Chains A and B, each alone.
Chain A
């Protein structure tokens, strides 16, 4: 009886721990990076069921804050190769199963 309980606990632990964001790649300035990551976290928490709206929210907010032509991909599995303006790229994981790629390119 004890074993499944423990495994369950571990799982929950892992899940709880895995809610934090991990930055996989970024060439933004530290300040901008922190801000963008916070924005991504709030967007993904707000629209946890709908990645599209989350992406839309991120894009629009980024457009307002840092100028237009931002692109955002939010998803659980995707591959990409993008050309971006330097100092304007962030690729991060969040919530244990979502990858978010934010970049700016006109």
Chain B
């Protein structure tokens, strides 16, 4: 077959192949291309080993180098250039010729039918059945030839994965020649699914089945209720008649109702007004707490000092101590007024009352009563303004909301903090035994026999009056009149002129509540008893000027202290006419106070702005601390008070400023404990301590009773 084919090809290619045509002769056509064909001729000889000769069509253009290099741009389009562009067809629907816009651009240049058959097609089935029938017979007959043929089959089929198997039902049935091979090889089987013949592997897997779970819940059924009734004509009728009656009665009453409504409205208005006024008071407590918190933050360092600071320098001093200034209490409206009285609240140790007024008798103005607390140094807790100067005050021990106040104009009053009003709950009037001169001191007493609250007052008019709070008013009883006996009797006129002694201060004995001491303006001290209104138990020629304060020792029942404007502080035994100690402070002494923690410690304030602290146990002659505490030199100190619990004192000056000071450790030093001995505390120890001191001073001839 191949030789025939090659001749055929030669025949076919004679017209195309100049090389071969040359051999046969056709010289006229070839003469023009002689040069180029030379190479061809050489190549002709070596056809077998040089491969195919280069063939050129005879009508090929001869191009020069430059022409060959010239670039010719062509654009290939999908449009068929030979397709007609103006086809007109007859439209049977509209019965007119119409231009067809869409033209078939497809041009078929070459087509050839394949020799492949689809497996499912009828032809393929037919051929398959034919193969199977033939194969069976041949395999039986030609047993010897089988192996060879099988090899052949293997060669043809080795592209398949399952080469060892007999040829399967092929998807593609090739030429008939091949068909014959297949026929011989085999037993064609049923059609199988064709797999990827190049890269196939079979795998199996199963997903995990979640176990089934049951879940149930039940809601609470909506609430239900039962209702039963019977509807009948008479019941309905009754209901209607009742309703009608109601309507009629309503019509009769509209006027009355209107009046009531008005009343209600007015009531409502009243309540709204009340509630409005309460609006601020509702937040008052919270506001107060916040205010205190803010103050605590603002004065944090002072608060820390108050609680924890102990002057470390005291360790290096033997006796002297210092005062550490803490808070300053000031109030704008009380700036011009002098502090005339200070009293700690016995229940709340952080609260104290301060009375403001004026000691200048030419410039008497108003007075003020303020309550300061250590927890809020910036603003007073309670504020009361008075028309007259306050000169003294005292807080009741048992009922700390009651404050007795004495005024410059001679009246006394009792304020109740519980009441919201700005006026005193009790006020003495001129009709009922009011003092005619300034009240210098007031002091609460134990309840009297009728269980009425009562207090004493002393005034420049020489009277000492007991005031009892009976129901709504103050009932007064004159206890004693301070009269200077025998000095001034106008015998000529035979008139009994009584010259009164001006009382300026008093103090009641701690144990014997009948006995009390009175200090007067001319410097005398009288020991009096409530039982005898006419005369004194004793009189001390104490000072040369007015006695500003007199106080019993809180521990020792016989000892008291007095101070005066004559610059001196004196300590007395009430059985001895002469003072036990005399201290000259070089300035008018405004006030003196015993310390609550020691029988031998007291503090005095002077008008030159100094605080003098004495501890007789340490130094019998010199103060253990003298410190100027006022801001300006002009300011005078007027009063001093120890806090009953904390080691602090408050002092007031004549410019309305109250200072709080902490005592350094030296000022509150207790006797040192000897080894193996417990430090005794209590009043007995304090008394013994003071007695021990006094024994040194006392005149050995005069023995105490």
Contacts and interface: CB of A to CB of B under 8 A. Distances in A.
A81 B227 contact: yes
A96 to B, nearest CB: 6
A25 interface: yes
B140 to A, nearest CB: 84
Interface of B: 222-233, 235-237, 239-240, 243-244
B686 to A, nearest CB: 78
Interface string A91-102: 101001111010
SS class, residues of chain A in contact with chain B: strand
Interface in A31-72: none
A81 to B, nearest CB: 4
A89 to B, nearest CB: 6
Contact of B239 (A22, A75, A80, A84): A22
A25 B222 contact: no
B238 to A, nearest CB: 10
A83 B226 contact: yes
A93 B236 CA distance: 7
Contacts of B226: 81-84
A105 B231 contact: no
Given A22-B240, A22-B243, A93-B236, A84 B227 contact: yes
A24 B235 CA distance: 11
Contacts of B243: 20, 22
B456 to A, nearest CB: 70
Contact of A24 (B222, B228, B239): B239
Interface residues of A, number: 31
Contacts of B224: 83-86, 105
B233 A97 contact: yes
B230, B231, B240 — which one has the most chain A CB atoms within 10 A of its CB? B231
A80 B236 contact: no
Given A76-B233, A93-B236, A82 B227 contact: yes
Given A17-B244, A86-B222, A80 B228 contact: yes
A81 B239 CA distance: 20
A103 B237 contact: no
6 contacts: A14-B240, A22-B240, A80-B228, A83-B226, A85-B224, A91-B229
A18 interface: yes
Given A24-B229, A25-B229, A81-B227, A93 B222 contact: no
Contact of A93 (B223, B225, B240): B240
A27 interface: yes
Given A86-B222, A96-B236, A96-B237, 11 more contacts: A14-B240, A18-B240, A22-B240, A24-B239, A75-B231, A77-B231, A79-B229, A80-B228, A82-B228, A89-B227, A103-B227
Nearest to A93: B236
B255 to A, nearest CB: 23
B227 A93 contact: no
A103 B224 CA distance: 11
Closest CB pairs A-B (n = 9): A99-B231, A81-B228, A79-B230, A86-B223, A77-B232, A93-B236, A85-B222, A18-B240, A86-B225
A11 to B, nearest CB: 13
B249 to A, nearest CB: 15
A91 B227 contact: yes
Contacts of A18: 240
B231 A83 contact: no
B227 A79 contact: no
Given A81-B226, A84-B225, A86-B223, A93 B233 contact: no
Contacts of A27: 225
Contacts of A97: 233, 236
A79 B232 CA distance: 8
A78 B239 contact: no
Contacts of B244: 14, 17
A68 to B, nearest CB: 13
A99 B225 contact: no
A91 B235 CA distance: 13
A41 B224 CA distance: 26
A89 B236 CA distance: 18
B254 to A, nearest CB: 19
Contacts of A22: 239-240, 243
Nearest to A18: B240
Contacts of A17: 240, 244
A84 B224 CA distance: 5
Nearest to A98: B236
Contacts of A85: 222-225
Given A24-B239, A96-B237, A96-B240, A80 B229 contact: yes
A78 B225 contact: no
Contacts of B239: 22, 24, 93
B553 to A, nearest CB: 80
Contacts of B236: 76, 93, 96-99
Nearest to A74: B231
Contacts of B225: 27, 83-86, 89
A27 to B, nearest CB: 7
Contacts of B229: 24-25, 79-80, 91, 101
Contacts of A93: 231, 236, 239-240
A60 B231 CA distance: 23
A96 B222 CA distance: 34
Contacts of A91: 227, 229
Nearest to A19: B240
A46 B172 CA distance: 85
A105 B225 CA distance: 10
Nearest to B223: A86
Contacts of B237: 96
A14 to B, nearest CB: 8
B218 to A, nearest CB: 14
A79 B227 CA distance: 11
A78 B230 contact: yes
Contacts of A75: 231
Nearest to A20: B243
A18 B227 CA distance: 25
Contacts of A89: 225, 227
Nearest to A94: B236
Nearest to A105: B224
Contacts of B235: 99
A89 B226 CA distance: 10
B220 to A, nearest CB: 12
A84 B244 CA distance: 30
Nearest to B237: A96
A84 B229 CA distance: 13
A40 to B, nearest CB: 13
Nearest to B226: A83
Nearest to B243: A22
A22 B222 CA distance: 28
